[in-house]
């Protein structure tokens, strides 16, 4: 009986296919799985003189997913070419009705030589819960890394932060500025890249509510995304073996 069970398990292992990686190479190629969605968001590719990018869904990981991306872009080094991302799908509600936004991410690059880019969380909010998730009235960014001398949107011509703050166990350079009509708040890691990050992102919202009069009762959270933003360089391989997030 034991031999038969072992044989059956061996046959099952041999005949059960491994989870296939999903490749996303078109400009806005999309895939959803396990409560997450991935977008190969090459929104600025037309500003490149050459280059390409493919993003991959690599399967479930812990309570989240694994994904990766290969990219190379040249031309117009101050223009964003892409922000591919994984997003936690959730029911939209006002920020004031959210108790916590726990998240954990692990990520790495194979190389960053001559790279211009960053790795960040990006959250949009808007008074209209049906508003598109590609922009908002407010934007909250948490930069876990920056490369090539770029800095967040700011009203400072020299890239000087407004102040330094300590949140979620890390020190951040805090920036604010406008991207058109949208008010942008950015927290850039002051201690270099954070490759393993676990936090409650509500800490960042609470900082904005207390210090910058962020109107939490009027603003619906639209998206909870994480990924690499690419300007120029490459070829590079970005890997996130774990991204998990919740809206509670």
- pLDDT for 5 equals 39
* pTM for this entry: 0.92
The full DSSP string for 91-140 is: ---BGGG----EEEEEEEES--TT-EEEEEEEEEEES-TTS-TT--SEEE
**Alpha-carbon radius of gyration of the chain:** 20
The full DSSP string for 4-68 is: HHHHHHHHHHHHSPPPPPEEE-STT-EEEETTEEEE---TTGGG-SEEEEEEEEEEEETTEEEEE
In tens, the pLDDT along 42-87 reads: 999 999 999 999 999 999 999 999 999 999 999 999 999 999 999 9
Which of 245, 191, 247, 248 lies closest to 65 in space, CA to CA?
Answer: 245
Which amino acids are annotated catalytic?
A: 139, 229
Residue with tokens 């108790």: 99
Query: Quick check: 217 and 96 in contact, CB under 8 A?
Result: yes
Q: Where are the domains of the chain?
A: 22-245
Over the chain, what is the mean pLDDT? 94
Burial class (CB within 10 angstroms; exposed 0-12, middle 13-18, buried 19+) of 11: exposed
In tens, the pLDDT along 15-37 reads: 334 567 999 999 999 999 999 99
CATH code of domain 22-245: 2.60.120.180
């Amino acid at each position: 009986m034991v031999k038969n069970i072992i044989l059956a398990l061996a046959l099952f292992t041999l005949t059960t296919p491994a989870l296939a990686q999903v490749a996303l190479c078109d400009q806005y190629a999309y895939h959803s799985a396990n409560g997450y969605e991935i977008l190969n968001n090459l929104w600025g590719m037309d500003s490149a003189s050459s280059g390409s990018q493919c993003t991959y869904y690599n399967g479930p990981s812990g309570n989240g997913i694994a994904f990766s991306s290969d990219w190379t872009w040249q031309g117009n080094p101050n223009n964003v070419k892409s922000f591919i991302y994984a997003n936690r799908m959730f029911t939209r509600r006002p920020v004031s009705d959210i108790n916590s936004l726990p998240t954990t991410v692990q990520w790495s690059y194979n190389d960053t030589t001559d790279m211009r880019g960053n790795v960040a969380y990006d959250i949009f909010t808007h008074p209209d819960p049906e508003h598109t998730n590609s922009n908002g009235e407010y934007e909250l960014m948490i930069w876990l890394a920056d490369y090539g001398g770029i800095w967040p949107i700011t009203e400072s011509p020299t890239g000087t932060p407004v102040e330094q703050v300590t949140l979620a166990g890390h020190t951040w350079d805090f920036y604010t500025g406008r991207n058109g009509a949208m008010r942008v708040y950015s927290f850039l890691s002051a201690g270099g890249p954070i490759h393993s990050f676990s936090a409650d992102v509500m800490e960042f919202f609470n900082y904005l509510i207390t210090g910058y009069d962020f109107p939490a009762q009027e603003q619906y959270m639209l998206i909870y995304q994480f990924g690499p933003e690419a300007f120029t360089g490459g070829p590079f391989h970005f890997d996130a073996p774990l991204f998990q997030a919740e809206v509670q």
